[in-house]
């Protein structure tokens, strides 16, 4: 990957300490057609594999996360699940060997649309083949083979990572013993598809997107930033924002006669400033084309592709146990999808725990309500 | 208003039959500063005022509606509430004299940012003063005076129209006897503000918006269309779309290797085609600047501007009765806001009926579940 591919890559390279990368295979065929030469996955590890190799926990991520789930000696920056993963934490790295994998298609070290195509010497951009969650699972299995991991004690996937996990489980009977699915689903439903479709349209309509051929110094920042704000609206909840922001005005409030005519005039309401702040952080680290590919892969995911019915497919996972955690305030992966997933996974041989949590932070609760998620995950891992 | 102001205006003029317009006053001061010379409101009427003038029903509209609430002899096109308003319908035009008013700031005949500024000979665009819901109510009262309406039997307002109605009621004690508020609120909360803020940002970032100075033949269609799609996501519900669309593919499905790279390739999922279809209809009739102004006026609305607390203000409306209808699946004006509004309006002298309806069409249910709304409104109007 060229350092100049985009500002995203530059920023990534700066915080890349401790990320390991492995070339998976000479050529990987993709589900919807095409192939990738020498695909790479990026990952980080915590703790040590024990001799019996039965303490392996694999974490698969949501759309926007890197493999940096927690700090470690090579990179002391806090990870995206710093409160959950570490010594004596819910996912105890004194006990477990934890591997967090950056999905195929992402822009944090794994091969994706922002990566260099070895054949052309240019970034793939839209020449990257169409990406599915199933391809992510194929790549992840190749990485596990390279790491000589033949069995996973517990596979953990929030959001898109849960879909990725389900695909990995279904593709590889016997590979995974236990599964924690968080705010995830076995197929995408139209409301979530609509939200993601609109995010992609905003990026595609940014003139700087240029059919994917934006330049490193001039990426479609408006598109990515607005897409991220729409993401945040779907990730959180109305109740949380009412409690947190109410009708508070921004401290940088700068009311002018023509509120709509002036750039960078500041946002009047605190909720607007909050979204702007978060979205600017995102626009500076995430590649637009990768976002499009990952987003669409979620829309396409449907476990029924593996059999006659979702129930039939999920009824023969071979899992020993699973825990499905859902959030009542989640509008993106609503609670009824968690319940259905838990029901379908549950069989005579697979013991399933289903929890409907009343956190108010919506889909993102697993990143925010650390106390609640620590408790649930600690309790589950103690029993297995 | 020049015919060439925008394609919006041209389209409007074509379906303008039966719309009446009145100049309200020489100059109207605006709440947040500035004034408008010779403001005009557009309205349509149905039925006849009786001799005792006690059969007057006024309908105030949501953000995007015109005064054409129902067909009439001058304009037989179906109105936006055709199933509710008409002879023998829930709002019975054999019995009531019905007036539907296009809000100040809109682009369907009333004075707004798309109107011609008489002083400059140019459309106002962003020189239009900042618009509040309270200004809408001020203008509406001036229209009522011109129409010699001193008392309203029943004032009906869905969504933004409910806010407009509340402002009119509070500004004019004794003017309104009965009030039907539908999917509305006495203040905007941050989740809804965030959604509208993002819609406006999408329009403002469309290069064709040009700080409001778009040309009639080249308006910011992408911005308006995408804003409308985000609107639809906030107006409907996940359950409705799951039942209606599921994961159905569009009949115009045209999968290509580069789904994201090709314009007008068609949308793969039916939910995407549905949104595109509705949003294109909207982009062709609604003026971008008017949208910005109306949208922001909703954010700003807070009944507390009229007193020490919302409860205190709403406790002295002087209404004889009110009915507050809310929808459990509404994410834009959530049900708890309806409940609170009903509680605050209820006093010894104001009898309030509160209904929480389980329609699945979200905020837009009043436009879709005609049977349910007919029943509630018919029943209420029979009793008053």
The rounded distance, in Å, linking the Cα atoms of A228 and A234 is 10
| Per-residue exposure over A9-27, b if at least 16 CB sit within 10 Å of its own CB, e if not | beebeeebebbebeebbee
Q: Tell me: pLDDT of A281 over 70.
A: yes
| Chain-centre distance for alpha carbon B193 | 16
Alpha-carbon dihedral A198, A201, A205, A209, rounded to 10 degrees: 120
Stretch A267-279: mean pLDDT: 92
Q: Which residue carries 């040009």 as its tokens?
A: B210
Minimal C-alpha gap between B296 and chain A (Å): 9
Q: Do A191 and B302 touch (CB under 8 A)?
A: no
Nearest to A269 among B127, B193, B267 (CB): B193
H/E element, B326: strand B321-327
Q: Beta strands B27-29 and B35-37: pairing type?
A: antiparallel
Per-residue confidence (pLDDT) for residue B383, from 0 to 100: 86
CATH numeric code, A7-188+303-383: 3.40.50.1820
Catalytic residues of B: 159, 330, 363
Kindly state the tokens that stand for A171. Answer: 């593709």
CATH numeric code, A194-289: 1.10.1740.110
Minimal C-alpha gap between B140 and chain A (Å): 23
The rounded distance, in Å, linking the Cα atoms of A183 and B331 is 20
In three-state secondary structure terms, A208 is helix
Nearest to A126 among B207, B244, B261 (CB): B261
**Residue B343, phi-psi category: left (phi > 0), alpha (psi -120 to 50), beta (remainder):** alpha
In three-state secondary structure terms, B97 is strand
Kindly state the tokens that stand for A37. Answer: 């030469």
A chain contacts of residue B275, beta-carbon cutoff 8 Å:
194, 197-198
Residue-wise DSSP of B35-71: EEES-EEEEEEES---TT---EEEEE--TT--S--S-
Q: What angle do CA A164, A170, A174 make, to 5 degrees?
A: 115
Helix count and strand count (H, E) for chain B: 12, 14
| Residue-wise pLDDT tens digits, B149-167 | 999 999 999 999 999 999 9
Minimal C-alpha gap between B267 and chain A (Å): 9
Closest chain A residue to B262, measured at CA: A211
The rounded distance, in Å, linking the Cα atoms of A363 and A328 is 9
Q: Which residue carries 């109007």 as its tokens?
A: B381
Q: Do A259 and B197 touch (CB under 8 A)?
A: no
The rounded distance, in Å, linking the Cα atoms of A200 and A182 is 24
Q: Which of residues 94-133 of A touch B (CB under 8 A)?
A: 126-127, 129-130
| Per-residue exposure over B187-212, b if at least 16 CB sit within 10 Å of its own CB, e if not | bbbbbbbbbbbbbbbbbbbbebbeeb
Q: Which residue carries 């932070």 as its tokens?
A: A361
* C-alpha radius of gyration, chain B, whole number: 21
Residues 6+ apart with CB under 8 A from A232: A275, A278, A279, B194
Percent of chain B with pLDDT over 70: 92
Q: Is B211 on the interface with A (CB under 8 A)?
A: yes
Whether the CB-CB separation of B181 and B166 falls below 8 Å is answered with yes
Residue-wise DSSP of B236-271: S-HHHHHHHTTTPBPTT----TTTTT-TT---SBHH
Q: Is B323 on the interface with A (CB under 8 A)?
A: no
**Which of A35, A114, A194 to mutate: most B Cβ within 10 Å?**
A194
Whether the CB-CB separation of B330 and B356 falls below 8 Å is answered with no
Domains of chain B, residue spans:
7-187+303-383, 194-289
Q: φ and ψ at A305, to 5 degrees?
A: -60, -20
Catalytic residues of A: 159, 330, 363
| Residue-wise pLDDT tens digits, A216-250 | 899 999 999 999 999 999 999 999 999 999 999 98
Helices B221-235, B190-204: inter-axial angle, 10-degree rounding? 160
Residue A297 confidence class, pLDDT cut points 50, 70, 90: very high
Q: Which of residues 247-306 of B touch A (CB under 8 A)?
A: 247, 257-261, 267-272, 275, 289, 292-293, 296, 299, 302
Q: Do B197 and A269 touch (CB under 8 A)?
A: yes
Q: Do A260 and B200 touch (CB under 8 A)?
A: yes
Work out the mean pLDDT of chain B and round it to a whole number.
Answer: 93
Minimal C-alpha gap between B27 and chain A (Å): 18
Taking CB atoms and an 8 Å cut-off, how many pairs form between chains A and B? 156
Q: Which residue ranges of chain B lie beneath pLDDT 50?
A: 1-14, 256-258, 262-264
CB-based contacts of A300-306 (< 8 A; 24+ apart in sequence)? A300/A132, A300/A133, A300/A188, A301/A132, A301/A133, A301/A134, A301/A163, A301/A167, A301/A186, A301/A187, A301/A188, A302/A186, A302/A187, A302/A188, A302/B247, A303/A166, A303/A167, A303/A170, A303/A186, A303/A187, A304/A187, A305/A134, A306/A170, A306/A171
Per-residue confidence (pLDDT) for residue A65, from 0 to 100: 97
Whether the CB-CB separation of B167 and B134 falls below 8 Å is answered with yes
- Residues of chain A by 3-state class (helix, strand, coil), percent to 5: 40, 20, 45
Closest chain A residue to B245, measured at CA: A190
Q: Beta strands B35-37 and B116-117: pairing type?
A: unpaired
H/E element, A192: helix A190-204
Q: φ and ψ at A27, to 5 degrees?
A: -150, 130
Q: Tell me: pLDDT of A52 over 80.
A: yes
The rounded distance, in Å, linking the Cα atoms of A268 and A253 is 5
User: What strand order describes the sheet that includes B176-182?
Assistant: B20-23, B40-46, B97-102, B56-60, B152-158, B176-182, B321-327, B351-357
Residue-wise DSSP of B266-323: --SBHHHHHHHHHHHHHHTTS-HHHHHHHHHHHHH-BGGGGSS-HHHHHTT---SEEE
Q: Do A130 and B257 touch (CB under 8 A)?
A: yes
Q: How many CB atoms lie within 10 A of CB A363?
A: 27
The rounded distance, in Å, linking the Cα atoms of A168 and A174 is 11
Question: B278 burial class (0-12, 13-18, 19+ CB within 10 angstroms)?
Answer: middle
Stretch A22-28: mean pLDDT: 98
Q: Do domains B7-187+303-383 and B194-289 have the same CATH topology?
A: no
Whether the CB-CB separation of A56 and A99 falls below 8 Å is answered with yes
Q: Is B245 on the interface with A (CB under 8 A)?
A: yes
Whether the CB-CB separation of A112 and A300 falls below 8 Å is answered with no
Kindly state the tokens that stand for B45. Answer: 């009427």
Q: Do A198 and B230 touch (CB under 8 A)?
A: yes
Q: Is A333 on the interface with B (CB under 8 A)?
A: no
Minimal C-alpha gap between B144 and chain A (Å): 29
Alpha-carbon dihedral B226, B231, B236, B237, rounded to 10 degrees: 80
Determine the topology of domain B7-187+303-383 in CATH. Answer: Rossmann fold (3.40.50)
The rounded distance, in Å, linking the Cα atoms of A191 and A187 is 12
Whether the CB-CB separation of B141 and B175 falls below 8 Å is answered with yes
């Amino acid at each position: 990957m060229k350092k100049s591919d985009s500002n995203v890559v530059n920023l990534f390279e700066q915080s890349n300490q401790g990320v390991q990368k492995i070339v998976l295979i000479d050529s990987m065929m993709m589900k919807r057609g095409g192939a990738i030469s020498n695909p790479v996955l990026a990952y980080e590890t915590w703790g040590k594999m024990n001799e019996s190799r039965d303490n392996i926990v694999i974490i698969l991520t949501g759309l926007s996360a890197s493999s940096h789930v927690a700090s470690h000696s090579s990179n002391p920056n806090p990870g995206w699940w710093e409160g959950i993963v570490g010594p004596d934490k819910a996912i105890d790295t004194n006990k477990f060997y934890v591997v967090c994998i950056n999905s195929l298609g992402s822009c944090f070290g794994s091969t994706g649309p922002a990566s260099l195509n070895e054949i052309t010497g240019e970034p793939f951009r839209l020449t990257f083949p169409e990406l599915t969650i199933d391809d992510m699972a194929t790549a992840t299995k190749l990485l596990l083979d390279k790491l000589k991991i033949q069995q996973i004690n517990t596979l953990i996937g929030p959001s898109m990572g849960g879909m990725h996990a389900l695909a990995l489980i279904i593709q590889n009977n016997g590979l995974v013993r236990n599964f924690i699915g968080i705010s995830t689903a076995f197929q995408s439903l139209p409301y979530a598809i609509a939200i993601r479709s609109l995010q992609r349209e905003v990026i595609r309509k940014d003139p700087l997107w240029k059919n994917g051929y934006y330049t490193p110094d001039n990426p479609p920042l408006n598109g990515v930033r607005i897409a991220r704000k729409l993401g945040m609206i779907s990730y959180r909840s109305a109740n949380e924002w009412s409690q947190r922001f109410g009708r508070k005005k921004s401290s940088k409030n700068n009311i002018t006669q023509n509120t709509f005519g002036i750039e960078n005039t500041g946002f009047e309401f605190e909720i607007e400033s909050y979204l702007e702040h978060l979205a600017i952080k995102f626009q500076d680290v995430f590649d637009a084309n990768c976002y499009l590919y990952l987003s669409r892969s979620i829309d396409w995911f449907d476990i029924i592709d593996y059999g006659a019915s979702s129930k039939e497919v999920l009824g023969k996972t071979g899992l020993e146990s699973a825990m499905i955690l859902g959030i009542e305030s989640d509008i993106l992966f609503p609670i009824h999808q968690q319940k259905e997933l838990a029901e379908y996974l549950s069989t005579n041989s697979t013991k399933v725990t289903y929890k409907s949590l009343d956190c108010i932070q919506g889909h993102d609760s697993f990143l925010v309500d650390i106390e609640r998620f620590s408790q649930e995950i600690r309790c589950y891992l103690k029993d297995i």
